[in-house]
Structure 1
Amino acid sequence: MAAPKSSIEGLRPWIASYPDGITWDDAIDTTPVHEQVLAACARNPNAMALDFLGATTSFGELAEKITAFAGALQSQFGVTKGSRVALMLPNTPFYPIAYFGVLRAGGTVVNCNPLYTVAELGHITANAGADIMVTLDLQQIFEKAEALLAAGHVKKLIVAHFPNALPLVKKVLFSLAKRKDLAKVSHSPHANVIAGFEALIARNDNPAPVVIDPLKDIAVQQYTGGTTGIPKGALLTHANIAANMSQIDKWGCGLFYPPSKVIAVLPFFHIFAMTVCMNVPLCNGTPVIMLPRFELKALLGIFARTKANVLPAVPTLLNAIARADTAGQAELASLEVAISGGAALPDEVRHAFSKKSQALLAEGYGLTEASPVVCCAALRVASKPMSIGMPLPGTDIRFVDVDSGKVVGIGENGELQVKGPQVMVGYYGNPEASKDAFMDGWLRTGDVGHMDEDGYVFLVDRIKDLIICSGFNVYPRTIEEAAMTHEAVEEVNVIGVADEYRGEAPVAFVKLKAGQSISESDLKAFLAEKLNKIEMPKQIIFKDALPKTLIGKLSKKELREEYAQMKAAKP
């Protein structure tokens, strides 16, 4: 039974500031996402669901392919409730088909970033027990999947033929001009355990029904690194995923329904895009316009061709638009709402973007462990500048003093903690980390901020050392350990610094062994074999000694101060 409104407002000051039409204690829908998307397909099968570079898929076609893929997973691979299936795919029609197909078959999705190194991918797939991986025959991606097979991290591959995602003319041109970019899958030494994505769908197998307990069964095992850099699998139930969709849907006040069109340039394997760019619009019968990667010219072409009006983005992307001479009021005329997430939105980017577009720019906040959205600025009316908005319906937050653990008052800084139906049940196979993630039943975010008297939330700092680079987590320890494998390196300490393009970027401070020497370019070339592009340090600074704490631990605090002084001293 809901508490009287007066007492709710006393505990939750944001309720009084909610936009008209939004109720905090409205019922939250926890129907599994695959059931929702198939229902949306049935309601309007002839409407467009997906647009990939001009090649379209109707909702009816999407349902047929999801169902057939689920049937093949069950009949050919033995996928059942709890089976982990890894997806290593860029944004293409193959991704939503595979994602919803895995869930319909009863399996659990394990998202994999194609930019990760084989070692990173190997940890994720091995930890998850994901014996099956769905991927593409683009050489750069396929060779990683093949390496995972060779190492025994996965046992079977399902490989989609990239040109089949393209419109006919582009498909022919790609096959002629870009043939070298495609892997010769049939020549793989592991060809006997590789199946074709399209061939599996062509079987048209009918999947057996699977009874899902939304509150207990895991829909997505999403890997995140936390403070250690060692990826942990956040267990998101069907109810967690569906609840966050329902919360966002209510917060949008109809934004995610036709005639809206949502641009998906953020990768679906990222939790923000998975929920906001794919799940929410498709389950409402709204088309999703996909790009496989961010290219400004291609993005502006989408606005011109489709008149899309909703753009979920990261600050890096918004900054690129704001700085581009080719992007202006005319090119962005159809855009109504841009939603920034994944990293803090700098005020200068906010102002620069407002000069290019009349669109409402709303900043949101979330984390993998919350499926992911916790707070968001209003999507139909203006919010307080520099705020991440207010908690979504059904979400409670509090701020706790970092040192004492006591709840702080309005306007006082503390660690942001969260309760709500979107919060994970824990980390896979890691009870200690699961315990540490919560305090008295509240999810600890590791982010420091405060709430004002109107219920608006402001973040000021992070407890964690992780670096958020273009919306992705980069862990100093990963870079430090890679650098330490070079024979000339004695000590290394990595910090995150402000970066105009990526939001944040890593900078490495290195002490070399006595008598050793190496250039910055040579050390970066060495690291290129061990780190992905996002993790590569923006700068490597060599020092005779690195600052340490009294107990001999390398200290980042002094390095941050030193770097700030270096920047300030530059003309």
Structure 2
Amino acid sequence: LPNSPHHVIALFGAARAGARLVQLSPLDAERELIHKLTDSGARIVLTANVPSLLPMALKLKAAGHIDTLIVAEDGEWGAPPYPLLPIPEDDGIVPLSRLIDVALPSEWPAIASSDVAVLQYTGGTTGIPKGAMLTHANLSASCAIYDAWFNPQSAIKPGEARAICALPLFHIFALSTVMLRHLSNGNEVLLRQKFDVETTLEDIAVRRATHLNAVPTMWMALCNCPGIEKRDLSSLAACSSGGAALPVEIAERWQQLTGKVLRSGIGMTETSPAAATQPITRPGKIGSSGVPLPGVVIEIVALDEPRRVLPLGETGEIRIKGPNVVSGYWNRPQDTAESFVDGFWLSGDIGYMDEDGFLFVVDRKKDMIISGGFNVYPRMIEEAIYENPDVEEVIVIGVPDIYRGEAAKAFVKLKAGASGLTLEALRAFLADKIGRHEMPAALEIRNSLPRTNVGKLSKRDLVEEERAKAQALPEAS
């Protein structure tokens, strides 16, 4: 679903009915959607009659991957900027409007706080999407954590705030920190189907928005808007960045241009996503992810001994515990066992905590790429590229990208006799296999790819090469 009231209605309706909501991304390719539907057991899909969504949903139903398709009329909330598709009259296809006429149940199902409310798919270390089980308690705790941290220090009381939601609601960042938190406080949420600089600035100047949560690419676009320092941003009380590491220069530039402090932190799907953020009552630290939020315990443990807690200042794996942390992964007992130790979730991120309690993330154990706030998993891209008959070997890594933070780069060894492969041809080949956010931004053809001493393909040398190139750029300029 797009960012529309239908998405909000679906979430709360499913939760009240005791159903598990499976978040599907419009960016997903067909095979990714099929995997999530099959793995979760979801047999009902709710979509809207927009050209970018309905055809794929109909295709999934025709192939037998779902039993019932509920279609919302997107024009119900105003004239959209695109032509709407007619809702087919067919068995198993139900207009959402028809459900309004159905009588309420005589008795609602009993719901426990430990019941799964949302299956939020994330790739983890393997790159194969698995459902993080977000319970009703996890999501409620996340809202309570944010309230305990932000509300006492805010001049804006619950029920008086107005938050912009241009982030996609299928992402945990928007779902929890924007929609659930603000609606639970009785605040107004301004839903936008996509991020647009002028629309956002108008929401601030005209609608008097008080809160803006965004990923770094959005903050970058706002900073680059001509005349931003002259725009009326006086209503903004809180500016927060998440989804990916916020470059220090962007935070500093935003504050210089607007006078508004841009706070960043760290959070993951598995933490609903509350984990750490910059303090409000004392200065933050440049380059840090802030301090743990209320009720959240963050420790640094040895990379090879996840039960051995390291002293302050030493680098190791970040592990997190709290009422907001998921209990495990749907139908993945082995992944769950490997990811949790002594009640802590092992994040796969490498970092340290200083003497003042500030968390610094310095690297990732995972090969995961964070591109524009979205998790991108090299293995899934590699598997799709391997389907090309001209490809013999491939390695995908993340490389610095000035706009998205990181982007995927593919290193390919072609089979003997192959005529060649361009980036444009590769992207066309991958169009129906991976999402748009996963598309390689660069391609390099090589005669051979690096290997470990036991013959396995190795990413390490390529990562070091690209890092050296990036470090040399300022000198070259």
- Give TM-score scaled by structure 1 length: 0.79
| 1:226-237 matches, cutoff 5 A | 226-237=124-135
Per the TM alignment, residue 144 of structure 1 is displaced from its structure 2 partner at its CA by: 1.3
> Hey, what's the Cα distance between the residues in 2 that align with 1:284 and 1:443?
29
Partner of 2:123: 225
* 1:419 paired residue among 305, 318, 321: 321
Partner of 1:16: none
Deviation per CA, 1:307-359, whole angstroms, max 9, x where unpaired? 10111111111111112215334243322211111111111221222223222
Deviation per CA, 1:78-118, whole angstroms, max 9, x where unpaired? xxxxxxxxxxx121111111100110111111111111111
> Hey, what's the Cα distance between the residues in 2 that align with 1:496 and 1:503?
10
| 1:408-487 matches, cutoff 5 A | 408-487=310-389
Partner of 1:213: 112
Aligned-partner SS, 1:208: coil
2:418 aligned with 1:534: no
Contact 1:337 1:379 in 2 (8 A): no
Deviation per CA, 1:507-559, whole angstroms, max 9, x where unpaired? 11111111212222212221223221100011011111111111111111110
* 1:519 paired residue among 400, 422, 426: 422
Partner of 2:240: 339
Aligned-partner SS, 2:8: helix
* 2:452 paired residue among 540, 546, 549: 549
* 1:272 paired residue among 173, 185, 199: 173
Aligned-partner SS, 1:178: coil
Partner of 1:26: none
Per the TM alignment, residue 208 of structure 1 is displaced from its structure 2 partner at its CA by: 2.6
Amino acid at match of 1:228: T
> Alpha carbons of 1:300 and 1:278: their partners in 2 closer, same or farther (altered >3 Å)?
same
Instruction: Report which stretch shifted further, 155-164 or 372-381.
Output: 372-381
> Hey, what's the Cα distance between the residues in 2 that align with 1:207 and 1:247?
35
> Hey, what's the Cα distance between the residues in 2 that align with 1:404 and 1:127?
31
Amino acid at match of 1:276: T
Deviation per CA, 1:244-285, whole angstroms, max 9, x where unpaired? 111111011254723211111111111111111100110110
Partner of 2:93: 194
| 1:86-485 matches, cutoff 5 A | 89-166=1-78, 171=79, 174=80, 178-179=82-83, 182-186=84-88, 191-203=90-102, 205-206=104-105, 208-214=107-113, 216-254=114-152, 255=154, 257-379=158-280, 382-405=283-306, 406-485=308-387
> Hey, what's the Cα distance between the residues in 2 that align with 1:313 and 1:428?
29
Give me the CA root mean square deviation.
1.7
| 1:20-59 matches, cutoff 5 A | none
Contact 1:252 1:380 in 2 (8 A): no
Amino acid at match of 1:194: I
Amino acid at match of 1:386: G
- Give TM-score scaled by structure 2 length: 0.95
> Alpha carbons of 1:204 and 1:302: their partners in 2 closer, same or farther (altered >3 Å)?
farther
Number of aligned residue pairs: 469
> Hey, what's the Cα distance between the residues in 2 that align with 1:379 and 1:212?
36
Contact 2:30 2:432 in 1 (8 A): no
> Hey, what's the Cα distance between the residues in 2 that align with 1:423 and 1:512?
44
> Hey, what's the Cα distance between the residues in 2 that align with 1:307 and 1:248?
22
Aligned-partner SS, 1:186: coil
Per the TM alignment, residue 203 of structure 1 is displaced from its structure 2 partner at its CA by: 3.5
Partner of 1:490: 392
Per the TM alignment, residue 381 of structure 1 is displaced from its structure 2 partner at its CA by: 5.5
Aligned-partner SS, 2:239: strand
> Hey, what's the Cα distance between the residues in 2 that align with 1:313 and 1:355?
18
Amino acid at match of 2:430: L
Give the unaligned 5+ runs of structure 2.
Answer: none
Contact 2:205 2:231 in 1 (8 A): no
Amino acid at match of 1:539: A
> Alpha carbons of 1:407 and 1:178: their partners in 2 closer, same or farther (altered >3 Å)?
closer
Contact 1:323 1:352 in 2 (8 A): no
> Hey, what's the Cα distance between the residues in 2 that align with 1:562 and 1:92?
44
> Hey, what's the Cα distance between the residues in 1 that align with 2:98 and 2:281?
44
- Tell me the percent identity: 42
Amino acid at match of 1:422: N
> Alpha carbons of 1:335 and 1:538: their partners in 2 closer, same or farther (altered >3 Å)?
same
Amino acid at match of 1:234: A
> Hey, what's the Cα distance between the residues in 1 that align with 2:2 and 2:98?
20
Per the TM alignment, residue 151 of structure 1 is displaced from its structure 2 partner at its CA by: 2.1
Aligned-partner SS, 1:236: strand
Give the unaligned 5+ runs of structure 1.
Answer: 1-88
Contact 1:240 1:371 in 2 (8 A): yes
